Amino acid sequence: MKMERKPVRRSRGRPRSFDRDQALDRAMAVFWERGYEGTSLEELLEAMRINPSSLYSAFGDKERLFQMAIDHYLEGPGSYMVPILENEPTTKGAFEKLVRAAAKELTRPDQPSGCMLSLALNHCSPAAASVQAALTERRAKSLARLQARIEHGIAEGELPPKTDARELARFFMTILQGMSVQARDGASRDSLLATAQAAMRAWPV
């Protein structure tokens, strides 16, 4: 049972000649590699293999395309954290697996290095302020997930009751974001794994 193109019922006009999801995937790759402001429309159009009219009618404008690309990233290559945090039996085990998985994911040869969300828009011109707001929100959500798992661990007695869940979550966010910068700077997977291992030594007793 394979689907031809888009299996959705046709609306009236001329059908779209490209695969929207594939185009978004390609846009994501370029934004991931070059950042929001560092990516030109020309690069996007070439990578997506569509022309301006198609891009604007399908995705709105550069800003909205970027936001869709970020969400596409978080549901795809950036989604590896969720099942680890949810399914690992122990909290410490979850974080251990998390940082090791990050070391691997952030240095995959078939992808741009580092985390698209961590690296995006650390410099913000006034023009990109609204994009940055959206990113900040998503980073906050990511932090909240780490924190929730730690709080769960405290409740289960896996961690000292006095543990500051938010600050421990922030420590791991710092590690993950730093690993992204390292990956961008050419650090090897083994280096990141060593950092992951070091980070776990900071786990509260």
Partner DNA sequence: CGATTTTTGAAGTAAATATTCCAAAAATAC
Partner DNA sequence: GTATTTTTGGAATATTTACTTCAAAAATCG
**Site residues, a copy of itself (CB under 8 A):** 33-35, 37-38, 114, 118-119, 122-125, 136, 139, 164, 167-168, 170-171, 173-182, 184-187, 191, 194-195, 198-204
Task: Name the binder of 23 from a copy of itself, DNA, none, CB < 5-8 A by kind.
Answer: none
Q: How far apart are CA 71 and CA 42, in angstroms?
A: 22
Of the pair 10, 162, the CB lying nearest DNA is at 10
And the tokens for 24? 């978004």
Distance CA 44, CA 27 (A): 6
- C-beta of 22 vs 136, nearer to a copy of itself: 136
Smallest gap from Cβ 166 to a copy of itself, in A, equals: 8
Going by the DSSP 8-state scheme, the letter that residue 34 receives in this structure is H
**Contact track, DNA, 49-88, x by CB under 7 A:** -xxxxx-xxx--xxx-------------------------
User: Residue 183 has which token pair?
Assistant: 């990956």
CA dist., res. 153 & res. 19, Å (int): 43
Q: Does 171 bind DNA (CB under 7 A)?
A: no
The one segment of 44-52, 69-77, 128-136, 186-194 that binds DNA by CB under 7 A: 44-52
Nearer to a copy of itself, 82 or 202 (CB): 202
- Decide if 129 contacts 111 (C-beta within 8 A): no
16 binds, among a copy of itself, DNA, none (CB under 5 to 8 A by kind): DNA
| Site string (1-40) toward DNA, x via CB under 7 A | ---------xxxxxxxxx--------------------xx
Contacts 24+ apart (CB under 8 A), 169-176: 169/143, 169/144, 170/143, 171/199, 171/202, 172/95, 172/98, 172/99, 172/146, 172/199, 173/139, 173/142, 173/143, 173/146, 175/99, 175/199, 176/99, 176/102, 176/115, 176/118
Residues forming contacts to DNA in the complex (CB under 7 A) are 10-18, 39-42, 50-54, 56-58, 61-63
